[in-house]
Amino acid sequence: MDGIMSLPDLFEKLLGDDQDSWPAEANLLLAAHDGNLRRIKEIAATLDDDGEGIAATVARTAFHGMNALHAARSLHVYRYLLEVANMDVNKPDTTPGRKTPLERAIAGGDLPSVRYLIDHGADIHHQREGNITFLHSAAKKGRTEIVKLLLSRGAHVDGKSDHGTPLHFAAIKGYESTVKILLEHQADPNKVMPSSQATPLSAALFTTSLPCVKLLIQAGADVNATNNPLARAAGSGLTEAIKLLLKAGANPNCPDTHGRMPIELAAVYGTREDVEILFPLTNPIPTVADWSVDGVITYANLERKKLEDDDYVNTKMSDLKQKGNEAFDEQDYEKASVWYTQALEVDPCDATTLLKRCLCWLRMGEGKKAVKDATTRAKHHPKLSEAYHRLGEALMLEKDYEKACVALTHGIELDPESDEMDKLFWEAMDLKN
């Protein structure tokens, strides 16, 4: 699901399919979006009731919180709007994201337009909600040339946001060239993400990007950081990453947050080569009776079979879900969320439990956690309207009304009879504007 609805799609949702019936202001913005300068001027002429002139009319025309400069995507339109209409290059729109023209150009990957906007006064140090900078936005999209341009104009390479630095954003997407440029400009490879304490190295391992892992280790990334990069690599079967981490000094005797050693995680994943690599470096584990490569693998298989046994899993899940439901019914949502979390460790794909935990987060006002659970459910169950319903509700809690509209639109398409979702959608639309 795309998190941002395109301007034509948004207007069509709001105004219907018949563009001829749309307000002139909406059609002017659509012309700016399409790069049709002649059409912009034609529409402006019809709106110029006071005789202030076409350029001035274009400059003051807005619709649903956006003006022509926010809608534009073409260099020749930008030139007209800034050099003739004298519009404010740094004015944000009034959507929940409060995006400026520069951010929209970066999102589109339009390097000439980005350069033009900066040359004509766009503030590259502007921050939006969550302390996200333009460098974060460019890194997240892997816009390497735009990253270079922003850095050359003085963008802060280690700008902190609620979700990490630009290096985190590039590493978790596996954008090797972007990671390389950021490191060449002295990005700190050991900055931690406030929400999870993850480093860029952990982010690169999450997306299994070996080239990014190599670059980060070469730049001095801490291979024994809090998130235990070696355990993550072992649990994902990343043989070459395990070799790199061990060579750089990673500790094979450091457990993950659940108390499991990297060798156990490698055995559970099923990569014998990884177990063989880790075995000579790992201290004997007391619960493994036969301390050998085969013994570790046998032990891991027995533990895994417990979870593969339907009776074991069903009994365990039933017990944890019952405890969670009892706490939920008593409106003790914090305790319920703990039981549901434990249940999801047994069966991460249990859709009902994921939804119940999402509801706990919503009741507790934990918007970010609710968004994460609802997004996961929507990803794995894309045909269930309820997933998008809860995602829309969570996004509204986070005051991200634009994305809430997108989620609820998907939900309504799946369940057109849902009055509750329809009501939420129009609430989000009103709040967005």
Q: What is the Cα–Cα distance from 80 to 85, expressed in whole angstroms?
A: 6
Provide the pLDDT for residue 312. 63
Of the spans 16-20, 95-99, 145-149, 306-310, which averages the highest pLDDT?
145-149
Would you state the torsion angle of the CA atoms of residues 310, 311, 315, 318, taken in this order, to the nearest 10 degrees? 40
pLDDT at 162 over 90: no
pLDDT of residue 325 exceeding 60, the answer is yes
Q: How far apart are CA 278 and CA 329, in angstroms?
A: 47
pLDDT, the chain, mean: 90
Higher pLDDT, 208 or 200: 200
Mean pLDDT, rounded, for 159-163: 86
Alpha-carbon distance of 59 to 319, in angstroms, equals 63
Confidence of residue 308 (pLDDT cuts 50, 70, 90): low
Q: Which CATH number fits domain 1-123: 3.30.70.3270, 1.10.150.130, 2.60.40.10, 1.25.40.20?
A: 1.25.40.20
Mean local confidence (pLDDT), 386-402: 90
Mean pLDDT of 361-373: 90
For 104, residues 6+ apart whose C-beta sits below 8 A from its C-beta are 70, 73
Which one has a higher pLDDT value, 357 or 315? 357
> What is the per-residue pLDDT for 170?
97
**Residue ranges of the chain assigned to CATH 1.25.40.20:** 1-123
Is residue 261 classed as helix, strand or coil in its secondary structure? coil
Selected residue with higher pLDDT from 161 and 156 = 156
Whole-angstrom distance, CA of residue 121 vs CA of residue 100: 12
- Given a cut of 70, whether residue 192 has pLDDT beyond it is yes
pTM as predicted: 0.70
Lowest mean pLDDT among 83-92, 282-291, 372-381: 372-381
What average pLDDT does range 115-142 have in this prediction? Answer: 93
pLDDT-based confidence at 3, cuts 50/70/90? very low
Q: What does the pLDDT look like over 94-127, one tens digit per residue? A: 876 788 999 999 988 999 999 999 999 999 999 8
Task: Read off the pLDDT of residues 75-84 as tens digits, 9 standing for 90 and up.
Answer: 999 999 999 9
Q: Is 123 left (phi over 0), alpha (psi -120 to 50) or beta?
A: beta
Q: Find the length of the chain.
A: 433
Q: Give me the pLDDT at residue 1, please.
A: 35
- Which part of the chain is CATH 1.25.40.10? 310-432
- Name all contacts of 409-417 with Cβ < 8 Å and 24+ positions apart: 409/5, 409/13, 410/1, 410/378, 411/385, 411/386, 411/387, 412/385, 414/383, 414/384, 414/385, 414/388, 415/385, 415/389
Single-letter amino acid code for the residue at 335: K
CATH superfamily, with its number, for domain 310-432: Tetratricopeptide repeat domain (1.25.40.10)
* Residue 288 or 114, more confident: 114
